[in-house]
Structure 1
Amino acid sequence: MSGQTRRRGAALEEAILRAAAEELAESGYAGLTMDRVAARAGTNKNALYRRWPNRLALGVAAYRRLARDIAPPDTGTLRGDALELLRQANRHWSSPLGGVLRELLVAAGGSGELLAELREHSGEALAAPWLAILERAAARGEIAAEMPHPRVVTVAIVLLRNEFVVRGVPSAPDEVLVEIVDEVYLPLLRSR
């Protein structure tokens, strides 16, 4: 690195995460190696291992960098908003990036800490957009103003996740999304 200032701290970590995210997007988790990330970041493997104890931890951090927050839709109805949120999640989980998430979930297996980090982006803990659409629905008078139990808030996304995890589908058909919203989610919210 003649003539260049050696990167340290946050600048080096940013370069490593950027390189890892690019590798993950191009090659998936199966193709992610510490050697390739170090080479792409212009550093050595020791710099990676000082920050992440293994390839899986780096993969999770890279995925989190790639994953985008889902902006809550505003279609004007609770049904429309819930369907659109499920459709967004279905597109994400069916995409190459969703494939990376599924690979990471399998690889994380028994690592509770890494699984918890992944869940933030896999659906279970993505309550914020669901809360936003429920608050708007309450303001429109479509449901009661009192927020439902947290499990009720996210039951639709959990049911969709079940399609991927338990049934192993590559993408859920739209009829399944409509069924989740019309037969489970809306009746559950309106029965309170």
Structure 2
Amino acid sequence: MGRRRGERLEQAILDATWDLLIQVGYAKLTMEAVAARAGTSRPVIHRRWPTRAQLALAALDHTAPSDTEPPDTGELRTDLLAMMRQIAHRFGSVHGEVLAGMTAETARDPEAAHALRARLTVTTRGRQVATMVRRAVERNEILPVLLPSRVTTLPLDLIRNEIVLYGRPPGEDAITEIVDSVLLPAILHAPAPGFDAGQPVAEKP
């Protein structure tokens, strides 16, 4: 059989990385072990992913389910609750364990810190929050608001912090408290369009 190249080789490497993450965890993951399992060499892997952290995050993206439309229950509060449950469920899987392991290593591993920051700043969850708020405005549930980027990324940030502090994603009671005490107030108290020079995330049609 000929040498694997391109997408076939990349898939084999990412599949091998994922299998090892499940078996030994991020802390014990090595490029040598990935190369042996994928039937390739460490330099080949290193050319595509210069650091172990980048390789691990690529494997997470490779196995992650495709993003779906944000929840649409007909009410902003229940939309937010449903989205928080989705995020918590995903973080409760191997994805969460790997991200938690990387977070724990960022203090002594600058490469892991850089890769993790890059991963966490690229998320579609902010767009999902904006979409849910826009829908709430369109059905006259809330007034138009300008959502700061920190508000749109709050769900992911708060769940990640919960994992770092307590070693697990938030349960139902904590999710409800986060939505009612943090997310909803932050959205409802966001400035109205025209308050500053920003562009409105949600506005009436």
The normalised TM-score by structure 1 is: 0.82
Give, as a single letter, the amino acid of the residue that structure 1 aligns with 2:64.
A
Counterpart residue number, 2:114: 113
Shift, 1:173, TM fit: 2.6
Structure 1 gap segments, 5+ residues each: none
Give, as a single letter, the amino acid of the residue that structure 2 aligns with 1:90.
A
Deviations 1:7-28 (A, max 9, x none): 2234322321222122223332
Shift, 1:106, TM fit: 2.6
Aligned partners of 1:50 and 1:186: how far apart in 2? 45
Counterpart residue number, 1:143: 142
Aligned to 2:2, which of 5, 30, 38? Answer: 5
Shift, 1:144, TM fit: 2.2
Shift, 1:118, TM fit: 2.7
Counterpart residue number, 2:173: 175
Deviations 1:46-94 (A, max 9, x none): 2112222232221122122223354311212111110011111122222
Alignment of 1:35-50 (within 5 A): 35-50=32-47
Aligned partners of 1:12 and 1:101: how far apart in 2? 25
- The secondary structure found in structure 2 opposite 1:62 is helix
Alignment of 1:1-192 (within 5 A): 4-71=1-68, 72-109=70-107, 110-111=110-111, 112-120=113-121, 126-165=125-164, 167-192=165-190
Aligned partners of 1:163 and 1:86: how far apart in 2? 12
Structure 2 gap segments, 5+ residues each: 191-205
Aligned partners of 1:143 and 1:70: how far apart in 2? 26
Shift, 1:169, TM fit: 4.0
Distance change >3 Å, CA 188–CA 108, structure 1 → 2: closer
The normalised TM-score by structure 2 is: 0.78
Deviations 1:96-123 (A, max 9, x none): 32111111223344335312333147x7
Structure 1, 170-179 or 25-34: larger mean CA deviation: 25-34
Aligned partners of 1:57 and 1:154: how far apart in 2? 22
Shift, 1:33, TM fit: 2.3
Pairwise CA RMSD:
2.4
Deviations 1:27-58 (A, max 9, x none): 32134222321122121222112222232221
How many residues end up aligned between the 2 structures?
186
Which 4+ runs in 1 deviate beyond 3 A?
A: none
Asked whether the equivalents of residues 59 and 104 of structure 1 are also in contact (C-alpha less than 8 Å), the reply is: no
